Amino acid sequence: MVRQKIIDFYESTYPEYSKRMVLSVNGFSVPNQYESQNPYGKKTTNAVYLGYSRIDFETMKHICKLFPFIDYHVIGKCLRKKDLKRLNKFSNFKFHGNMTPSQYLPYVEHADLGVIPFDRKWTATKWIGLNSKYLLFMYFGLPIVSYRVGAEDEFRGLQVSFADDKDQFAECVQKTIDSGCERKRYNVNWRGMSKSGRIAEVISILQEHNLIR
């Protein structure tokens, strides 16, 4: 299983499977070759969101209004059409739709902060933890503002600003701006998170349980 929270759920729901599950977290494909050219203007402050998980319209509207000097770049189909139409009225809201890794990586690398305003009505957030969305932002040292997720314990020791509502989210954005959007050094084992690192761990687990030699 990729998350301890999932193991705990299955062990409590199906006791017969207790002690028969092993934790092996999802990996992260560390970026290597791509065109690292800054896609932003020299005098702009830029926040980026990347992914398919639906984000909260009210929160995006709130921070677009409060911080007109920040351009919000949203990558991936993560908004309903009616919400996207309303957000497009803000000149600092930039919707890019789907992009390939070579296209979106420069937007992440050169951003000033990462924002993750999940739709709080989306029940699946209770299963979300330290996934590739966060890890990509961390790899490039971006300060991160996010709504709370269910597996928040996975972020212990990592400098992520979590919020409970749109006002707190805006406060976290303000604090990040006040600190100059300083790059952070996240304590993550990037080698262990890589493809080769994850394969090595799975092989080790299989050997430990005598499933392979």
- Predicted local distance difference test score (pLDDT) of residue 17: 79
Q: Using alpha carbons, select from 200, 152, 143 the residue that is nearest to residue 172.
A: 143
- Do residues 134 and 167 lie in contact, with contact meaning Cβ atoms separated by under 8 Å? no
Integer angstrom CA distances of residue 191 from 102, 121, 163? 21, 35, 30
Q: What is the pLDDT of residue 31?
A: 78
Tokens representing residue 188 in the block = 């993550």
Q: What is the largest CA-CA distance in the chain?
A: 60
* pLDDT confidence bin for 28, thresholds 50/70/90: confident
For every residue of 15-58, DSSP letters joined together read: GGGTT-------------SS-----S-TT-EEEEEESSS-B-HH
pTM as predicted: 0.91
Measured in residues, the chain has a length of: 213
**pLDDT above 80: residue 30:** no
* Sequence-distant (≥ 6) Cβ neighbours of residue 86 within 8 angstroms: 57, 61
pLDDT digits (tens, 9 = 90+) for 199-212: 999 999 999 989 89
The DSSP letter of residue 125 is G
Tell me the average pLDDT across 151-162.
94
pLDDT at position 105 is: 95
Q: What is the mean pLDDT of residues 172-194?
A: 95
Query: pLDDT grade, residue 172 (50/70/90)?
Result: very high
148 conformational bin, left if phi > 0, alpha if psi -120 to 50, beta if neither: beta
Residue 161 pLDDT class (50, 70, 90 cuts): very high
Q: What is the pLDDT of residue 33?
A: 78
> Where are the extended beta strands (E) located within the chain?
45-50, 70-75, 93-97, 113-116, 144-147, 160-163
Q: Which CATH superfamily is domain 28-193 in?
A: Glycogen Phosphorylase B; (3.40.50.2000)
Query: 72 pLDDT exceeds 90?
Result: yes
Tokens of 195: 């493809």
Looking at residue 70, its pLDDT comes to 97
